[in-house]
Structure 1
Amino acid sequence: MPNRRSFQSFHPFARLGRLLDAHPPGAEPILLSIGEPKNQPPAFVAEEIAKAAATWSSYPPPRGTEAYRGACADWLTGRYALPAGMIDQAKHILPLPGSREGLFFAVVAAVQDYQLKHGNAAEPPVVLLPNPFYHVYAGSALAVGAEPVFVPATAASGFMPDYAALDAALLKRAAFCFLNSPANPQGAAAGRDYLARLIDLARRHDFVVGFDECYSEIYAETPPAGALEAAIDLGGSLDHLLVFHSLSKRSSAPGLRCGFAAGDAALIDSLDVALRVGGAGVSHPILAAGARLWRDEAHVEANRDYYRQNFALAQRILGNRFGFRQPAGGFFLWLDVGDGEAAALKLWREAGVRVLPGGYMAEPGPDGVNPGARYIRVALVYDAASTEEGLNRIVQTLGDWVGARDAEQPLAAAEG
């Protein structure tokens, strides 16, 4: 277990505040550090909430409503071309107040199940996660006393972790495994074969694999593959797997706190109990609005067009600078600037642009190298005018600086 004394010690935005907040911005701030959509959800969200206002006096139903679960099951079936009946809305769907909360409590449930199964094992259970990673992955392991194992997800591996390469003894101790596709921060998407191999690995070593697919609907042209499609290729069973989806990114509604988990009925039951003990449900008005959002695709396509425009701007303004590439999904740029922390401080102090150092989303490996240290993560969430201004400031501030650094310290060819 890393030497973590508190969540505060590794939370990326707490660290970013400590880095930047003592310094005034060098220009009117443009905040490209947080992946918070700035375009608005459809107006019907407010209408549905208002229509269901009388239900605010009721506690949230733990398993949601049949209408909400049905909308989620129908969306999954249509999006991933699932066989009819593969997803039973009563058994395989659990509403969540956003995917983050579900991911956290899924680890709580999985580690408890592991401990009940293995008794007083000499070594703690393991939680597998990609490196770089979304902070809730490490936070969940920390909260339950599990050992997080950080598996490199760099350019050398296509920005996907190679879990199959881990030692069998370590895999035997695994209680839960995270896979984020499309990935935050790199934007890489796993292929269907990769997803199937990971499900097979989880079944052979008896751990739960949680597929965080919250960016699945933000892509340029080709919809990213999903874990449920891969499950079809393995015969259609949902054993050992959970998938997590949210309306935060898909529908530009992060404040709604509405999503769902789908998968193995026994795992859904365990997650349900964990959430009843320590989590929060989804209220009736939010469920009503969420059900309508899952049944509407017009606003989702409009969102994709919004981000396509921003990536077109990035292509034009950045060109081949900083290792720019069009990600397979999501709305982040993962830019190689040599020293992400120094670049983030420079951008804030000189240009008023706030970005996240990539090293704050990663842990040093056994060789002492942090796979995110060279990078900054840039969220393309603002309108085109603000995005264009922010990208121009990045080029103006870092272009010569990165070039000078590279001349002094050539890029390590093995690191992406």
Structure 2
Amino acid sequence: MNPLLSKLQPYPFERLRQLFASVTPNPALRHISLGIGEPKHATPPFIMQALSDALGTGLAGYPATAGEPALRQACAAWVERRYGLQLDAATQVLPVNGSREALFALTQTVVDPTQAGATVVSPNPFYQIYEGAALLAGATPHFVASDPARNFAPDWDSVPAEVWARTQLVFVCSPGNPTGAVMPLTEWQKLFALSDQHGFIIASDECYSEIYFRDEPPLGGLEAAAKLGRGFERLIAFTSLSKRSNVPGLRSGFVMGDAAVLKKFLLYRTYHGSAMSPVVQAASIAAWGDEAHVVDNRNLYRTKFAQVTPVLAEVLDVKLPDASFYLWAGVPAGWQGDDAAFAKALYEHEHVTVLPGSYLAREFNGSNPGRGRIRMALVAETAECLEAAERIARFVHAHPHKV
């Protein structure tokens, strides 16, 4: 077996299952889960129809790894509408089977484990694929804590020069999971300068970009590069239909950016066997071509967060995020920062699942930046999320201190 597999840590939801194993939740209450970030809003009927229509002829041949020209063009057209950028659909866009698969695969493409000290830099807390992809590529992760005092922006200045010198890949997540923070242009400028100096590639995970609460849509990595008057050298952005269009089961997204990097990525994917089904491609073309359902979906989240956030803000350290469908909340002071104990007791007393923030981060340089916080995914219907918030408030009032 691949010895690098032994370096992988248990996934957060496996740790949560173990945490709850000895608990019998309140049987008088139905279970409400705010744990998993899986969209629950209805899939738009026109996407389902496009999928159904394609079944008649869409399975008769092997799909091309690069995707059909019509899909790449639909992706490029969306980028132009969303960001005002004109991409070459043939060389700067590549369809992928969801951003998760692509984030992992790009890491295997980019990292050269024969180089001494090969390093992948990741925000902390983070999406667990970043760490797993780095480890299985033979690299060492270096974690950069998100700073609550700066809207949870990663503290890039904390990375020593000798680490940057060994860095081959940097993950950026904006809007962030779990914080919902959007990286501003000044941070992008700093990271681009470091990339120019040290030659590392930037992987910008932007799968939450279409769920936001401000008037201005979140800044994208390629958009930031254009605003700064630079090209897309060593920059790859990832986006997905899962959250935007409520189709996580479709497994469809695309990557965009540096044509030279994407050429190598396509080569890797050709051998990896990552071609997207023609049926999925047909549904994806329909989804990328329509914006009305995205506006409707965003409005559902805005209404939901407007109702739920004030209820939770009365008992937890939490505020409306920039974007995404998560609330990143601090547990009450009386719980002494024990986010796992808080989640366990909440599950026992109120049958509500939240994810301990420490499970989404790593102990690094003596601290775990997720400690003392919980992540809540407001993906269910408003009434269910509001009921969960009211139960959480009731629990905190009854248990202001650690149980």
Structure 1 residue identity aligned to 2:358: G
Q: Within 1, Cα distance between the matches of 2:265 and 2:345?
A: 43
Q: Does 1:381 align with 2:379?
A: yes
Structure 2 counterparts to residues 134-213 of structure 1, below 5 A? 134-213=127-206
Q: Within 2, Cα distance between the matches of 1:376 and 1:150?
A: 19
Question: Hey, what does 1:372 align to over in structure 2?
Answer: 370
**Could you list the per-position Cα deviations for residues 345-390 of structure 1 after superposition, in whole angstroms to 9, with x for gaps in the alignment?**
01111111111110000011212x2111101100101111111111
Question: Hey, what does 1:89 align to over in structure 2?
Answer: 89
Q: Does 1:5 align with 2:3?
A: no
Question: Hey, what does 1:285 align to over in structure 2?
Answer: 279
Q: Is the 8 A contact 2:97 2:253 kept in 1?
A: yes
Question: Hey, what does 2:69 align to over in structure 1?
Answer: 66
Q: Within 1, Cα distance between the matches of 2:47 and 2:320?
A: 31
Structure 1 residue identity aligned to 2:342: A
Q: Is the 8 A contact 1:4 1:10 kept in 2?
A: no
Q: CA deviation at 1:400?
A: 4.3
Structure 2 residue identity aligned to 1:97: N
Q: CA deviation at 1:292?
A: 1.2
Q: CA deviation at 1:305?
A: 1.0
Q: Is the 8 A contact 2:143 2:364 kept in 1?
A: yes
Q: Does 1:52 align with 2:43?
A: no
Q: Is the 8 A contact 2:218 2:323 kept in 1?
A: yes
Structure 2 counterparts to residues 96-111 of structure 1, below 5 A? 96-111=96-111
Counterpart pick for 2:241 among 232, 244, 247: 247
Corresponding residue SS for 1:260 = strand
RMSD of aligned Cα (Å)? 1.8
Question: Hey, what does 1:329 align to over in structure 2?
Answer: 323
Q: Is the 8 A contact 1:41 1:299 kept in 2?
A: no
Structure 2 counterparts to residues 22-41 of structure 1, below 5 A? 22-26=22-26, 27-41=29-43
Q: Within 1, Cα distance between the matches of 2:270 and 2:156?
A: 31
Question: Hey, what does 2:392 align to over in structure 1?
Answer: 394
Q: CA deviation at 1:61?
A: 1.6
Q: CA deviation at 1:124?
A: 2.6
Q: Is the 8 A contact 2:347 2:353 kept in 1?
A: yes
Q: Within 1, Cα distance between the matches of 2:60 and 2:190?
A: 46
Corresponding residue SS for 1:5 = helix
Q: Within 2, Cα distance between the matches of 1:349 and 1:110?
A: 45
Structure 2 residue identity aligned to 1:190: M
Question: Hey, what does 1:404 align to over in structure 2?
Answer: 401
**Could you list the per-position Cα deviations for residues 18-52 of structure 1 after superposition, in whole angstroms to 9, with x for gaps in the alignment?**
11134333231111100111111211112111222
Q: Within 1, Cα distance between the matches of 2:135 and 2:152?
A: 24
Q: CA deviation at 1:179?
A: 0.5
CA pair 279-202 structure 1, distance change in 2 beyond 3 A: farther
Q: CA deviation at 1:156?
A: 3.0
Question: Hey, what does 1:413 align to over in structure 2?
Answer: none
Structure 2 unaligned regions, length at least 5: 332-336
Structure 1 unaligned regions, length at least 5: 409-416
Question: Hey, what does 1:273 align to over in structure 2?
Answer: 267
**Could you list the per-position Cα deviations for residues 87-109 of structure 1 after superposition, in whole angstroms to 9, with x for gaps in the alignment?**
10000001011011111111111
Q: Within 1, Cα distance between the matches of 2:185 and 2:35?
A: 30
Q: Is the 8 A contact 1:128 1:174 kept in 2?
A: yes
Q: Which deviates more from structure 2 when the two are superposed, residues 244-253 or residues 308-317?
A: 308-317
Structure 2 residue identity aligned to 1:215: Y
Query: Given the two structures, how large is their TM-score scaled by the length of structure 2?
Result: 0.93
Counterpart pick for 2:124 among 131, 137, 144: 131
Q: Is the 8 A contact 1:192 1:229 kept in 2?
A: no
Corresponding residue SS for 1:136 = helix
Question: Hey, what does 2:334 align to over in structure 1?
Answer: none
Query: Given the two structures, how large is their TM-score scaled by the length of structure 1?
Result: 0.90
Q: CA deviation at 1:6?
A: 4.7
Q: CA deviation at 1:288?
A: 0.9
Q: Is the 8 A contact 1:20 1:345 kept in 2?
A: yes
Structure 2 residue identity aligned to 1:89: A
